[in-house]
């Protein structure tokens, strides 16, 4: 048993364990929404922040390895990848949900009042009421982070190395200052995304990776996973201790950031989360997350005898959402991602923007679009 070297980390092209982690996050979110009081112990209310940390880490790793490989970060290609990854499925999910609402007898006017926010990825600014697709507030937050973070990363790259760490700390502090008194205050969620992004920056560089390398040892990984599980199951106690959810959310984001390196080494955590069933669900977690409200309507029609607000009901919702998400993954999500890649290749040939990596910039890469962000992309 040994730890994972920095060179081995840079050589990783896929992070299957993170797909498994996203699968668990998607399921606990659905159980929080529809499983009733018996599953409160799962702390599903915070599952979206697993997505946030993972998304921040993966998109930043992708950009940093692109810079190693080509000598620069292409904003054009980054935004195109995000658009083809997130937008088609998002709007298709919105259309399907609207159609379901229309035929279910649910108040059409309520959905229409929210529609401008849904169309513009702005639902986090209109969270009142109980409207299908309201859970996509997380997608809106991620989209805005994706818009700004690449620009910030390029700017930081042009700054003296001595100033980068203080600026990173200052960025987190500024985000935390923006905490509001409500659960859906913007600052706390962006700080969790930023935590994942900064983890990627630290791990990408040899000195930073050395700090986290002990976590990649199999035995250490087991201890980290056990500690994380205990923390997750006692989050409500932490909320009571801190007198609010924001500090607990930030602490949880840090805990996820500590957990991730333990899933990169050859330990049991990586093995369990890389099991094919978990990876299968994780790869489709974006669709599962988007379609959960629609799945509730389907379950209500197909199994009206099933009591709502129970673990059995949440299980049925999860299975229906997964079934629909699998079809969308095969026939919409993956084809659109492929179209995006082909467009990028065509643009790179037609309008080349990169230069070859130099000897001081060792090539390394991570497979693009192996992430969901949803509670994304």
Name, in order, each residue with C-beta under 8 angstroms of 304's C-beta and a sequence gap of 6 or more.
Answer: none
Whole-number Å distance between alpha carbons of 27 and 21:
10
Kindly report, residue by residue over 185-215, the tens digit of the pLDDT.
567 899 899 999 999 999 999 999 999 999 9
Closest Cα partner for 51 from 162, 141, 123, 130? 141
> Is residue 234 a part of any domain in this protein?
yes
Are 9 and 263 in contact, with CB atoms under 8 Å apart? no
**Residue 251 pLDDT > 80, yes or no?**
yes
DSSP result, 73-87? --HHHHHHHHHHHHH
Q: Is the dihedral of CA 35, 39, 42, 44 positive or negative?
A: positive
> Is residue 340 a part of any domain in this protein?
yes
Span 18-23, average pLDDT:
98
> Is residue 127 a part of any domain in this protein?
yes
> Is residue 361 a part of any domain in this protein?
no
For the chain, what is the domain count?
1
Residues of the domain holding 236: 6-350
Name, in order, each residue with C-beta under 8 angstroms of 62's C-beta and a sequence gap of 6 or more.
Answer: 78, 366, 368
Six-digit token string for 376: 């994304």
Whole-number Å distance between alpha carbons of 275 and 271:
6
Looking at the chain, which runs of residues are DSSP E strands? none
Kindly report, residue by residue over 160-176, the tens digit of the pLDDT.
565 556 666 666 565 55
> Is residue 365 a part of any domain in this protein?
no
Q: Chain-wide mean pLDDT for the chain?
A: 86
> Is residue 305 a part of any domain in this protein?
yes
Q: CA separation (Å) from 217 to 15, 261, 263, 312?
A: 17, 9, 9, 38
Rounded to two decimals, the pTM is 0.89
> pLDDT class for 294, splitting at 50, 70, 90?
very high
**Residue 19 pLDDT > 70, yes or no?**
yes
Q: CA separation (Å) from 204 to 6, 78, 106, 145?
A: 8, 18, 49, 20
Kindly report, residue by residue over 66-125, the tens digit of the pLDDT.
999 999 999 999 999 999 999 999 999 999 988 887 777 666 677 788 888 899 999 888
Span 17-44, average pLDDT:
93
Are 363 and 357 in contact, with CB atoms under 8 Å apart? yes
Specify the pLDDT at position 128.
Answer: 61
Six-digit token string for 202: 């630290």
> pLDDT class for 358, splitting at 50, 70, 90?
very low
Six-digit token string for 213: 């390398």
**Residue 40 pLDDT > 80, yes or no?**
yes
> Is residue 364 a part of any domain in this protein?
no
Whole-number Å distance between alpha carbons of 88 and 86:
6
Roughly what angle, to the nearest 10 degrees, separates helices 186-204 and 137-157?
40
Helix (H, G, I), strand (E, B) or coil at 251: helix
Burial class (CB in 10 A: 0-12, 13-18, 19+), 325: buried
Closest Cα partner for 254 from 266, 243, 275, 238? 238
Window from 15-24, 241-250, 334-343 with minimum mean pLDDT:
241-250
Are 175 and 191 in contact, with CB atoms under 8 Å apart? yes
Span 24-48, average pLDDT:
91
Are 104 and 131 in contact, with CB atoms under 8 Å apart? no
> Is residue 326 a part of any domain in this protein?
yes
Closest Cα partner for 357 from 81, 10, 5? 10
**Residue 182 pLDDT > 60, yes or no?**
no
Q: CA separation (Å) from 238 to 24, 229, 249, 281, 355?
A: 21, 14, 9, 30, 49
Specify the pLDDT at position 173.
Answer: 60
């Amino acid at each position: 048993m040994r730890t994972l070297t920095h060179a081995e980390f840079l050589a990783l092209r896929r992070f299957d364990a993170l797909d498994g982690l996203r699968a668990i996050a998607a399921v606990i979110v659905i159980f929080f929404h529809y499983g009733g009081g018996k599953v409160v112990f799962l702390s599903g209310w915070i599952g979206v922040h697993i997505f946030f940390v993972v998304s921040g880490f993966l998109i930043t790793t992708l950009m940093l390895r692109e810079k190693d490989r080509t000598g620069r970060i292409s904003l054009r290609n980054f935004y195109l990848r995000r658009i083809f990854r997130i937008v088609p499925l998002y709007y298709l999910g919105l259309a399907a949900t609207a159609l379901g609402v229309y035929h279910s007898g649910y108040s059409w006017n309520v959905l229409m009042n929210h529609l401008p926010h849904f169309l513009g990825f702005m639902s986090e600014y209109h969270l009142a009421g109980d409207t299908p697709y309201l859970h996509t507030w997380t997608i809106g937050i991620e989209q805005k982070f994706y818009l700004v973070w690449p620009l910030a990363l390029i700017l930081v790259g042009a700054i003296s190395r001595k100033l980068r760490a203080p600026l990173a700390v200052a960025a987190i502090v500024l985000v935390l200052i923006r905490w509001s008194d409500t659960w859906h205050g913007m600052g706390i969620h962006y700080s969790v995304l930023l935590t994942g992004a900064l983890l990627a920056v630290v791990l990408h560089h040899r000195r930073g990776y050395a700090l986290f390398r002990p976590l990649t040892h199999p035995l250490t990984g087991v201890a980290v996973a056990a500690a994380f599980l205990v923390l997750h199951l006692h989050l409500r106690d932490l909320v009571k201790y801190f007198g609010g959810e924001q500090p607990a959310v930030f602490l949880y984001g840090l805990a996820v950031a500590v957990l991730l390196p333990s899933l990169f080494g050859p330990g049991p955590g990586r093995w369990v989360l890389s099991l094919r069933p978990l990876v299968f669900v994780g790869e489709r977690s974006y669709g599962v997350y988007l379609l959960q409200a629609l799945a509730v309507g389907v379950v209500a029609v197909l199994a009206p005898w099933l009591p709502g607000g129970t673990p059995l009901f949440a299980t049925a919702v999860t299975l229906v959402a997964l079934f629909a998400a699998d079809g969308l993954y095969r026939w919409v999500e993956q084809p659109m991602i492929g179209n995006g890649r082909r467009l990028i290749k065509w643009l790179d040939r037609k309008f080349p923007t990169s230069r070859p990596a130099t000897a001081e910039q060792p090539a390394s890469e991570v497979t693009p679009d192996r992430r969901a962000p949803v509670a994304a992309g």
